[in-house]
Structure 1
Amino acid sequence: MTSPVGLHRVLEPGGVLPQAAWRLDTRPEIAPNEVRIRVERLNLDAASFRQLSVKHGGDGDAIRAEVLDIIATRGKMQNPVTGSGGMLIGTVEEAGRRSPLGLKAGERVATLVSLTLTPLVVTDGLAGWDGRSEQVPCAGWAILFARSVAAVLPGDLDPQLSLAVLDVCGAPALASRVVSRYVAERAVEGEARPVTVAVVGGAGKSGSLALAAARRAGAGRTVGVVPVVAEREALVAAGLADAVVLADARDPVALSTAVTSALGVPADVTVVCVDVPGCEHGAVLATADGGTVIFFSMATSFAAAALGAEGLAADVTMLVGNGYVPGHAELALGLLRGEPGVRGLFEARLAAD
């Protein structure tokens, strides 16, 4: 029986969903509710790429070899250390007659589900990738299930730019939802106090989009936290935050002090978008009682976050950014088109890669 969530593609161990599986069936023949994509480019998630780069000391050949080995062994791209993967763009080769995704052969699409659950085969040995950037040109195929999510690539944007934005489109959508709720609640209560938002990693892909989304959702004051002067200068030039501060997000006191000093109060909403571990306690400390922390990073230890909040007697709601919010692709692409600061940061990042 063909499962809408891909259970029929799980080879081992049995009884788990594709994301939790060790190995997937990558045969190119599709079931009536599946879609086969001819892959053009992968986008490795930031946490995974950083881990691989650090492990191999930036050796591109070694990084490429490990990515190839992971895909060949597991039938998907899932970093065994971070547990994360990324997403891809490609062209629809064949859509099953009962696929609910509405995709047609020949359409160029971005998959909005993780590579950790997407059956994937690479056929070119990643010969066009030097192993030194998150974006990976390649040839091969991938399979989408009935419960997968994909977006047709917009014709007005460079595909690499679209891929970079869509890879993190869940972050601005969730930030917008949370901030909008705070704004609405204060309006109902007649409270004039502005909603304050801190984004840790504000100059990155997900961070810059989250800042822009928070402002559009009605945040009264925003602060972007970055680790180095170059990122501070870039984020100030982009004009996406009311204040930009330097702090090591792994230092709880330094992060909390930087955010509180910039905002005058702890943040009502803190969004963690960094790709390094150890930022959980600082994010909790930087957030006001009754506030919300959104962890949009696969480097997060959710045990550390939960136990840390308990140990600090912090009355905060903690959310896992799962990458999917209805309308997330449209919202992120709209921010890219409508916010020159966002577009500038993304284009500079792509040029540097």
Structure 2
Amino acid sequence: MHRSLGVHRALDPVGVLPAAARRLDADPRLAPDEVRVDVHRIDLDAATWDPTEHGADGDAVRAAVLAGIERDGKLDVGPRGMVIGVVDEAGLDSPLGLHAGQRVVTLVPLTGVPLRVTDGLASWDGASRHVPTTGTAVLFARSVAAVLPEDLPQETALAVLEVCGAPAATERAVHRSGHRPSVAVLGAAGRSGCLSLAAARDARAGRLVGVVATEADAAELRAARLADLVVVADTSDPLAVAAAVGEPVDVTVVCVDAPGAEQAAVLTTADGGTVVFFSPAPASQAAAGAAEGMATDVTMLVGNGYTPGHAALALDLYRRTPGVQAMVDARVAR
């Protein structure tokens, strides 16, 4: 089991999970249950990538990131991110079902992917979160990767797959909540938010409420017909959000990262309801404190990004939901 999780690739300290290791063995030679990917691009975490952490100069940013990869055997920038490339070789014992020549994207945190770059990141400007490069990445037996579909443009597929955990977590929460629960999505105009609304509808939820930040977002979401009620409210103002939503809902999905969103989610959720945090950095302690302070009985779930079948679910929702297509396509084009 330890080997299937990639523990054998941890160099410092030895014997820990790859994401927890300071340094990984990125040797492209494979164990029988591993897969090697020829890397074409790395997409950094959209929510947390901040090049100014390494200085304003692109050359300095590139040098700092490259030094980290060469030192650590992985890219430790943000909690998420994706590697895009082509399968070069799959070990005979790999259970991932991948084979040479397939275009794939990793759906696990970059911190757990052994990575080697061979071009010095020479084609990257040090500012964009899209990093063109060449090199290799190694997947383990329990890694998660998706084959890029041939019927969708690559950028569209990546935009959906990057947030595919959110609609899957929403669907599961709706099913667990019983018969036709009401659902509110905070941050409903984003990719994860609109897909979560579509997933809730598909799971036969009842009243759907989309909470957005601006009137422009509200107009777009109303045109997409993904929610029964669309409201504009500042998610950092819990009282304003609760007033806008009105009757408390059974499930609240948080797809926005803003101070106060935790309290807003708790306040808009009925007693006995569920809050699913799929924001980039959910403040669980703040949310727990808010629930205690308001004497609110809610179950809190942190979307971990993985649910079996999450990639296929998200792509399917995109393909057959015109409103999701419109909103995702608009964001890809920006």
Counterpart position of 1:189: none
**Residues 71, 226 of structure 1: CA spacing in aligned structure 2 closer, same or farther, 3 A cutoff?**
farther
Structure 2: how far apart are the matches of 1:343 and 1:100?
32
Does structure 2 retain, via aligned residues, the 8 Å contact 1:278–1:301? no
* Cross-structure match for 2:73: 75
The 1:60/1:234 distance shift into structure 2, 3 A limit, reads: farther
Q: Residue 272 of structure 2 corresponds to which residue in structure 1?
A: 290
Residue equivalent to 2:181: 195
Offset of 1:139 from its aligned partner? Answer: 2.1
Equivalent residue number for residue 285 of structure 2: 303
- Residue aligning to 1:191: none
Asked if the contact 2:76/2:111 (under 8 Å) is kept, the reply is: yes
SS of the residue 1:104 aligns to: coil
Q: CA deviation at 1:166?
A: 1.1
Please show how residues 95-110 of structure 1 align to structure 2 within 5 Å: 95-110=90-105
Over 3 Å counting, the alpha-carbon distance change for 1:300 and 1:67 in structure 2 is farther
Q: Distance in 2 between the 1:218 and 1:48 partners?
A: 33
State whether residues 90 and 108 of structure 1, in contact with CA within 8 Å, keep that contact through their aligned partners in structure 2.
yes
Do structure 1's residue 214 and structure 2's residue 200 form an aligned pair? yes
Structure 1 residue 172: Cα displacement: 0.5
* Alpha-carbon distance in 1 for matches of 2:99, 2:121: 27
Aligned to 1:42, the other structure's residue is in SS state strand
Structure 1 counterpart of 2:185, which letter? V
Please give the alpha-carbon distance, in whole angstroms, between the structure 1 residues aligned to 2:250 and 2:55: 39
Shift of 1:66: 4.9
CA separation in 1, counterparts of 2:32 and 2:93? 5
Matched positions, count: 334
Would the aligned equivalents of 1:294 and 1:319 in 2 still touch at CA under 8 Å? Answer: yes
Deviates more, 1:93-102 or 1:248-257: 248-257
2:311 partner SS = helix
> Residue 283 and residue 54 in structure 1: after superposition, are their counterparts in 2 closer, same or farther (change >3 A)?
farther
Q: 1:237-248 alignment to 2 at 5 Å?
A: 237-248=223-234
> Using the alignment, how far apart are the partners of 2:68 and 2:216 within structure 1?
34
Query: Which residue of structure 1 aligns with residue 244 of structure 2?
Result: 258
Partner of 1:267: 249
* Distance change (3 Å), C-alpha of 1:131 and 1:211: farther
Which residue number corresponds to residue 234 of structure 1?
220
Q: Match for residue 190 of structure 1?
A: none
Equivalence for 2:118: 123
Residue 46 of structure 1 deviates from its aligned partner by 2.9
Give the corresponding residue for 1:36. Answer: 36
Deviation at 1:134, TM superposition (A): 4.0
The share of aligned pairs that are identical, in percent, is 60
2-structure distance, mates of 1:284, 1:321: 16
Q: 2:147 corresponds to which letter in structure 1?
A: V
Distance 1:335 1:66, change over 3 A: farther
* Secondary structure of 1:303 counterpart: helix
Asked whether the 8 Å contact 2:69–2:115 carries over to 1, the reply is: yes
Kept in 1, the 8 Å contact 2:80–2:108? The answer is: no
Cα distance, 1:62–1:281 mapped onto 2, change above 3 Å: farther
State which of 166, 172, 175 in structure 1 corresponds to 2:170: 175
Residues 85, 148 of structure 1: alpha-carbon distance in 2 compared, 3 angstrom cutoff: same
The Cα of 1:28 is off from its aligned counterpart by 1.2
Q: 1:220-250, CA deviations, whole angstroms, 9 ceiling, x for partnerless residues? A: 2111112223322222222211222222212
- Judge conservation of contact 2:54–2:64 (CA < 8 Å) in 1: no
> What amino acid is aligned across from residue 265 of structure 2 in structure 1?
A
Question: Secondary structure of 2:192's partner?
Answer: helix
Gaps of 5+ in 2: none
Deviation digits for residues 263-287 of structure 1 (CA, Å, limit 9, x no counterpart): xx11111101113454211111111
The aligned counterpart of 2:298 is 316
Deviation at 1:70, TM superposition (A): 4.1
After TM superposition, give the deviation of residue 54 of structure 1 in Å.
6.8
Give the distance between the partners of 2:273 and 2:299, measured in 1 at CA. 6
CA contact (8 A) 2:44 2:131 kept: yes
Equivalent-residue separation in structure 1 for 2:325 and 2:9 (angstroms): 38
TM-score normalized by the length of structure 1: 0.87
User: 1 CA distance for matches of 2:315 and 2:195?
Assistant: 10
Q: Write the letter of the residue equivalent to 2:325.
A: R
TM value normalised by structure 2: 0.92
RMSD: 2.3
1:326 has 2:312 as partner = no
Distance (whole Å) between structure 2 residues aligned to residue 54 and residue 208 of structure 1: 30
Unaligned runs of 5+ in 1: 187-193
| 1:144 aligned to which of 139, 142, 145 | 139
CA distance in 2, matches of 1:55, 1:245: 35
